[in-house]
């Protein structure tokens, strides 16, 4: 059984070191603990170590976990089907995986129906791998323009996964590209407050922090 407290401390220290190397403050980076396949007891243990933000890939899995961890904030980080948008709004504070206009419109329509506005990120397929979700980088700015106009969503930034590589250093150009894309979208929509960069996982979160991640999504390094 993983020693979750030790893992949390180790990951937080590595985030702080990476932030310091880049001249950033550790508080500028939020640790999102990814709980896919992790049972509620271990999620509560992580919460008792001070973690407050959790990421789940699937609406179905979140259904049981969200009520089991009082006071936590949940992020949807996996692909969302339009017919699950309504339930996703009930469970998650942020949807990080918006990758089409149709999905953004459905989420916005459902949120607006309850006079709410939900935080969203646009997921970008920076690796270009066909098996990955996300909008193509060259289409991200057009999608951002559409999303920024919707009344039921708040466009907060971008999310991406780097390709799986042997040397984490090789992810750096991908993270840099996502940051540049975020900067262009932020400058094009100053009123939207586009600031978040959700990038970096267990294999590569330090490189992501050095390149400007504001959220890292870490699973195995905490729970495995
Ligand atoms: C599983 C997953 C993570 C965490 O990956 P680890 O390698 O376990 O840290 C982060 N983001 C997404 C979208 C995931 O599916």
- In the chain, the domains with their CATH numbers are 2-223 (3.20.20.10)
Coil, strand or helix: which one is 47? Answer: helix
Per-residue pLDDT at 130: 79
Beta strand segments in 1-79, E: 30-34, 53-56, 73-76
Coil, strand or helix: which one is 122? Answer: strand
Residue in 7, 31, 32, 55 to alter for ligand 1 test, most ligand atoms within 8 A of Cβ: 55
Closest by CA position to 200, among listed 168, 222, 177, 224: 168
Per-residue pLDDT at 132: 79
Residue 202 C-alpha to ligand 1 middle, in angstroms?
Answer: 7
Closest by CA position to 111, among listed 95, 126, 132: 95
Atom of ligand 1 nearest to the CA of 223: 8
Per-residue pLDDT at 23: 98
Atom of ligand 1 nearest to the CA of 97: 13
Coil, strand or helix: which one is 77? Answer: coil
**Is residue 6 within 8 Å of 28, Cβ to Cβ?**
no
C-alpha radius of gyration, the chain, whole number: 17
Residue 172 C-alpha to ligand 1 middle, in angstroms?
Answer: 17
pLDDT tens-place values along the chain, 224 residues long:
679 999 999 999 999 999 999 999 999 999 999 999 999 999 999 999 999 999 999 999 999 999 999 999 999 999 999 999 999 999 999 999 999 999 999 999 999 999 999 999 999 999 988 777 999 999 999 999 999 999 999 999 999 999 999 999 999 999 999 999 999 999 999 999 999 999 999 999 999 999 999 999 999 999 99
Tokens linked to 100: 């089409």
Exposure pattern of 69-82 as b/e (b: 16+ CB <10 Å)?
beebebbbbbebee
Per-residue pLDDT at 119: 98
- Quick one: which H or E segment has residue 172? helix 172-188
Does pTM top 0.85 for this prediction? yes
Ligand 1 neighbourhood includes 161 CB (under 6 angstroms): yes
């Amino acid at each position: 059984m993983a020693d979750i407290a030790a893992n949390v401390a180790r990951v937080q220290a590595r985030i702080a070191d990476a932030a310091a190397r880049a001249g950033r403050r550790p508080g500028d980076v939020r640790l999102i603990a990814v709980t896919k396949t992790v049972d509620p007891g271990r999620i509560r243990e992580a919460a008792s170590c001070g973690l407050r933000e959790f990421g789940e890939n699937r609406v179905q899995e979140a259904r049981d976990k969200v009520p089991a961890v009082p006071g936590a904030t949940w992020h949807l980080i996996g692909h969302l089907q339009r017919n699950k948008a309504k339930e996703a709004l009930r469970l998650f504070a942020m949807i990080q995986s918006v990758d089409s206009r149709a999905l953004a419109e459905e989420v916005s329509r459902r949120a607006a129906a309850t006079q709410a506005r939900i935080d969203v990120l646009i997921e970008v397929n920076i690796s270009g791998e066909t098996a990955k979700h996300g909008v193509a980088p060259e289409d991200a700015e057009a999608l951002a323009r559409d999303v920024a106009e919707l009344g039921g969503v708040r466009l907060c930034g971008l999310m991406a996964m780097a390709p799986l590589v042997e040397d984490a250093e090789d992810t750096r150009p991908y993270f840099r590209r996502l940051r540049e894309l975020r900067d262009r979208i932020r400058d094009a929509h100053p009123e939207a407050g586009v600031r978040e960069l959700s990038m970096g996982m267990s294999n590569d979160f330090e490189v992501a922090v050095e390149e400007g991640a504001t959220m890292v999504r870490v699973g195995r390094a905490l729970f495995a």
